[in-house]
Amino acid sequence: MSDVADRVRKIVVEHLGVDEEKVTDNASFIDDLGADSLDTVELVMAFEEEFGIEIPDDAAETIQTFGDAVKFIKDAQ
């Protein structure tokens, strides 16, 4: 379990109020974790702050699952 994945999972759990075990690699924020479109914007904002990176809008749209987020952040770092 990488440090990035732990930190991303913590943000997702806190923000969406879901159980940690539901946050799997293939878990879709919207379809599986109950996020609405505004939640996804807020998650991206939270990732940007946590990791000190900028996630452009077109990239943000490709981040659909927990695994997508972890991969994007690792690549961006």
Partner 1 sequence: MFDLTGKAALVTGASGGIGGEIARALHGAGAVVGLSGTREAPLEALAAELGDRAHVLPCDLGDAEAVDALPKRAAEAMGSLDILVNNAGITRDGLFMRMSDADWDDVLRVNLTAAMRLSRGAMRGMMKARWGRIVSIGSIVGSTGNPGQANYAAAKAGLVGMSKALAYEVASRGITVNVIAPGYIGTAMTEKLTDDQKQGMLGQIPVGRMGDPKEIGAAAVYLASPEAGYVTGTVLHVNGGMAML
For residue 49 the two structure tokens come to 């702050």
The nearer residue to partner 1, 32 or 42, going by C-beta atoms, is 42
Please pick, from the candidates 2, 19, 38, 52, the single residue that binds partner 1 as defined by CB under 8 A.
38
Amino acid letter, residue 52 = G
**Is 56 near partner 1 (CB under 8 A)?**
no
Compute the least distance from the CB of residue 11 to partner 1, in Å: 13
For residue 70 the two structure tokens come to 């972890």
The nearer residue to partner 1, 25 or 49, going by C-beta atoms, is 49
Q: Is 68 annotated as catalytic?
A: no
Which residue is catalytic, options 19, 36, 58, 75? 36
Distances (CA, A) of 21 to 6, 27, 53, 58, 61: 12, 10, 26, 29, 24
| H/E run at residue 66 | helix 66-76
DSSP 61: T
Q: Which residues are catalytic?
A: 36
* Sites of contact with partner 1 (CB under 8 A): 38, 42, 45
